[in-house]
Amino acid sequence: MKPAAIVALIAAALFGATTASAEAPQDIQAAYAAQAGAGFTASAQRGRTLFTTRHGVSADFPACTQCHGTDLAAAGKHAITSKQIEPMAVRANPQRFTDAAKTEKWFRRNCREVVGRECSAAEKADVIAFLRAGS
């Protein structure tokens, strides 16, 4: 990908309002990876660890899987409201990671709640790599 496109993606992720746009999961991952710095390579294994670890910051949602479930190809369920949440795995849900602004917004909210802080660009790239696995 051209550097200009990467910059545009990062800008969209950071500053974008909620506009629907057609982006590709691998591009959104690449934008976070670029932000993480030279020499960084995303790891699905590290992404799995972040996603499945019980961080224990929130009693209601100790882990990401509390709402998204452990079978990532199946729908999850919001831990408080019981509302169904569409599958997180890209192979099961082609809508995943197709709107950089949306992705950035939910990383911000969910990392704060579950991990107790915002996730780094590296962690976000790892999680996307994990959720893209098998697609």
Partner 1 sequence: MKTTLLFGALLAATLAAPAQAGSVTLPSGAPPVWKSECSSCHVAYPPQLLAKQGWQNVMNGLQKHFGSDASLAPADAKTILAFLERNAAPDGDRFDAASGRITDTRWYGRKHHEIPSSAFRSADVKSAANCQACHEGADKGRFSEHALTAVGRRFED
8 Å CB contact between 95 and 52: no
Cβ pair 88, 76 in contact under 8 A = yes
111 binds ligand HEC (CB under 6 A): yes
**Which residue of 127, 129, 130, 132 would you call a contact of ligand HEC, by CB under 6 A?**
127
Residue with tokens 């704060």: 112
3-state secondary structure of 18: coil
Question: Of 36, 102, 126, 132, which one interacts with ligand HEC (CB under 6 A)?
Answer: 102
Site for ligand HEC, residues 18 to 47, rule: CB under 6 A:
none
CB of 4 to partner 1, least distance (A): 24
Query: Tokens 């545009």 correspond to what residue?
Result: 8
Angle at 97 (CA atoms; ends 94, 103), nearest 5 degrees: 145
- If one asks whether residue 78 binds partner 1 (CB under 8 A), the answer comes out as yes
Residue in this structure with the two tokens 């009693």, named with its chain if needed = 59
Indicate which of partner 1, ligand HEC, none lies near residue 112 (CB less than 5 to 8 Å, by partner kind): partner 1
List of residues contacting partner 1 (CB under 8 A) = 17-18, 60, 78, 80-83, 108-110, 112-113
